Amino acid sequence: MQRIQSMTRILSGIQPTGRFHWGNYFGAIRQYIDLQNGRDTAFYFIANLHALTTIRDKKILKENTLNAALDLLALGLDPDRATLFMQSDVPEVSELCWILMTTAPMGLLERCHAYKDKKAKGLTADAGLFAYPVLMAADILLYDSDLVPVGEDQIQHIEVARDIAGAFNHSFGEVFVMPKPYVVKDTAKVPGLDGGKMSKSYNNSVEVFEDLKTQKKKIMGIKTDSRPMEEPKDPAGDHLFELYSLFASAEQIKELETTYRKGGFGYGSVKSGLAESAEKYFGEARAKREELAAKPDIVKDVLSFGASTARKKASAVLKRVKAACGVG
């Protein structure tokens, strides 16, 4: 993990579109936890406004949002070292979104991946999806964020936020801090049960806090090749080996690598080892989640306090923005 100055503000959000899976944890949440530097330097929000572009059931969205908070806290997000809040609890973000839309270039939004891909497939795209990058820019700019942790495939999001901030600054002066992407170099590759990228959309994911019996059944059903047990196998690119490597120690990984190259083993033993390792890895977090779930008021208090903290910064930035463009 790269060293970050203690006063640098980190900001990131995660959508509550379903329960977090291994890909969410190793690809993002683990980095959130590592980047907790101090009380006011890390802002993390549950992006429930963004989720409205895909979820149209209020009960599901509310449940997902609460589950996201429970999961993040159980996995190690510390409200004494980071600010955790719901996006919708900071109404300033919606107001800033509209102000930014008045200067955001149309061509820029038309080139953004989500909208462009949907249109290319001949699917109907709503205005929310089209304006999605502007709300994302508002999320980032509203807190004078210095760095936004992203994977290499998400750098465009920060470039768009910078372009939108630049368009506003060009019209009204140097108002916004220009954010930079913090490219997480040690993000683990997390394949799904079928070898493709793990995703809820592809129905190939394993949830972090899934019922253990269901989780083991999924793991034992992981697709593998049909080569004979005695045949040596190359661990490179083998998705079962990659999944096992997420949870195993360096010594265990080296031992399994030797076994693969030597041959004479069955994939079933590797799957059993994976199930046991995953259960052990998340065991402490699972116990903490059960404890938090029994005390929902604690979670609500964390989110309420986080929103209060976030709004103090957000209101100051929005006041600056409104004064600059003449609506303050």
Give the catalytic positions in this structure. Answer: 118, 197, 200
Supply the DSSP string of 44-64, one letter for each residue: EEE-HHHHTTT---HHHHHHH
The closest of 315, 262, 327 to 90, measured between CA atoms, is 315
Buried b (16+ CB within 10 A) or exposed e, 173-212: eebbeebebbbbeebeebbbbebeebebeeebbbbbbbee
- Rounded Cα distance between 13 and 164, Å, is 19
CA 157 and chain centroid, separation: 13
Q: Which long-range contacts (CB under 8 A, 24 or more apart) does 111-118 make?
A: 112/156, 112/160, 113/156
CB 96 within 8 A of CB 142: yes
Residue with tokens 């994976």: 274
Sheet holding 42-46, edge to edge: 83-86, 42-46, 10-14, 147-150, 180-183
- Rounded Cα distance between 236 and 213, Å, is 29
